[in-house]
Amino acid sequence: MRIIDLRSDTLTKPTSLMWNKMASAEIGDDGYREDPTVRHLEELAADKLGFEAGLFVASGTMGNLVALLTHTQRGDEVFLEAESHIYYNEVGGVSVLANAQTCPIPGTKGKLTPELIKGYVRKPSINNPNPSLLCLENTSNRGGGSVTKPEEMRELVKCARGFGLKIHIDGARIFNAAVACKVDVKELVQGVDSVQFCLTKGLAAPMGSLLVGSQEFISRAAKWKKMLGGGFRQIGIMAAAGIVALETMIDRLEEDHVRAKKLAHGLSELPYLSVCSDEIETNIVIVEIISELITMKEFLAKLAENGIMAKDIGPTKVRFVTHKEINDDDINLVIERLSSK
């Protein structure tokens, strides 16, 4: 039986071109900023998103934490959506290491609005922390891959600036958002201070994320990266795969989106699952189990019995993520296997 692994788009494997470029990469000691392939990747990333400079980091979690450390001072208040990856899945780094107070704001499908933000930013007072930073996630992981569109971003930026807040985007899947909106990715990050995006998800590189911002911001961020143990050496081997990812893997994300919609439609036909197939925007499908018909334990067992791997993300919710390793036949098989008695 073929195992169909839909737990995450981090399961993507490098392409043959990536392997070839990795094998022939020109390398140097990145600790001395002497790895030419890393420099190329950082410049490419910054240019693609419309910023002055970039910084190659080990992971999205490291990139977000470095950004928070760079933007904030001890005791500052950081505003973010209540189920955002930074708040929900990054081991409390914003509190433990950045020493910032988080203000989680319940949004809709992982998205915030200016009206919601206005209800949480307090007036200056000796009793209140300094409001410092707004973190946005695009696309939203726990929001089912929901997209914050360019016009929505413009309103959020305007709101944040009105409160004197800096803005960081956790753009782990920012290229999924751009493909879904059919816009240049620059339109989704205009006016913000920094962006982190992953190379290892739908873009299929084996390692790494990029943090982009102004030259001054990246210069300060590089010190935090070093402090966190990110002093790479001959890491151009991995940067080479990242270059290929940015040059060749973005447009194909549309295939993942089409398959996610097909999967959602098929799963919506099952009587024991609830899923709004019309609301799928990118490559993440979150289903709600109708507990009167099947328990979470029973559903996970059904998945395992049928060679299907997905991720439970709550008492009644399971996440499926399409990616490069999943083809049309796999989607058909998932629907067929789960539809059988």
| pLDDT given at position 278 | 80
Looking from the CA of 15 toward its CB, the CA atoms found within 13 Å total 19
- Cα 192 versus chain centre, distance: 16
Cβ pair 209, 242 in contact under 8 A:
no
Q: What are phi and psi of 340, to 5 degrees?
A: -75, 155
| pLDDT given at position 259 | 98
CATH number of 16-248: 3.40.640.10
> 52: pLDDT confidence band, cut at 50, 70 and 90?
very high
| pLDDT given at position 35 | 97
Q: Is 251 exposed, middle or buried (0-12, 13-18, 19+ CB in 10 A)?
A: exposed
Q: Is 316 exposed, middle or buried (0-12, 13-18, 19+ CB in 10 A)?
A: middle
* Average pLDDT score over the chain: 96
Cα 220 to Cα 153: distance, rounded to the nearest angstrom:
26
180-214 tens-digit pLDDT: 999 999 999 999 999 999 999 999 999 999 999 99
User: Has residue 294 got a pLDDT over 70?
Assistant: yes
Coil, strand or helix at 274: strand
> 293: pLDDT confidence band, cut at 50, 70 and 90?
confident
CA distances from 78 to 101, 195, 203 (A): 6, 16, 29
pTM for the structure as a whole: 0.96
| pLDDT given at position 341 | 61
Range(s) of the chain covered by CATH 3.40.640.10? 16-248
Handedness of CA 236, 237, 243, 246 (dihedral sign): negative
Q: Which residue has the tokens 């990054």?
A: 90
Range(s) of the chain covered by CATH 3.90.1150.10? 252-339
Cβ pair 143, 276 in contact under 8 A:
no
CATH architecture group of domain 252-339: Alpha-Beta Complex (3.90)
